[in-house]
Amino acid sequence: MLKVMAKMENCKIDECIRRDGKLINLKLSYNLDSKSKSKSKSKSKSKYIIYFRYSLFLLPSSLRKLGNSFSVDVKKSIYPYKLVNDKNIDLNYIGNIQYFDKFSDITQEEYLDYCKLFAIWSLRDVFLL
């Protein structure tokens, strides 16, 4: 990611903090230059700053556990990431959730509770939630 950002036009990496070889904070500044269509042909610049932060160093827990710890209203749900990355699975799959092995870091009980939430499960619909 850093290599791509470093090659971008009008882009500058202002801050890059690493710990144990891992990136924990990155400040990226970039300008969008646009020429005005008016007769004066003046240039206007829009400057943007994006911060990338590796939150696991700040709060060393999964997003699901952090949601429970901080009692937030909307919590991270479970998702079958291994299913989406399987080339043999149709991304328009609709039907029963029969892929416990495609979920990561959940118990059988959590999986069964998740299955109860859906009369008909759509991979596309769940992805777009």
Same domain? For 99 and 124 the reply is: yes
Same domain? For 67 and 119 the reply is: yes
Domain count, the chain: 2
Same domain? For 15 and 36 the reply is: yes
What's the mean pLDDT in 97-102?
Answer: 83
Domain enclosing residue 28, as ranges = 2-58
What are 116's strand-pairing partners? none
Q: Which of 40, 58, 76 is the last residue of a domain?
A: 58
Q: How confident is the model at residue 36 (pLDDT cuts 50, 70, 90)?
A: very low
Same domain? For 8 and 44 the reply is: yes
Above 50 in pLDDT, residue 46?
yes
What's the mean pLDDT in 69-96?
Answer: 84
Same domain? For 10 and 23 the reply is: yes
Q: What six digits make up the tokens of 39?
A: 């007769």
Residue with tokens 């092995």: 101
**Full-model pTM:** 0.50
Same domain? For 50 and 93 the reply is: no
Same domain? For 120 and 78 the reply is: yes
Q: Tell me the HSE value of 121 on the side-chain side, using a 13 A CA sphere.
A: 15
CB 71 within 8 A of CB 53: no
Same domain? For 81 and 113 the reply is: yes
Alpha helices, DSSP H, located in the chain: 2-7, 55-58, 63-69, 81-84, 108-116, 123-128
Same domain? For 8 and 42 the reply is: yes
Same domain? For 41 and 70 the reply is: no
Cα(62)–Cα(104) distance, rounded to whole angstroms? Answer: 12
Same domain? For 30 and 75 the reply is: no
Same domain? For 52 and 76 the reply is: no
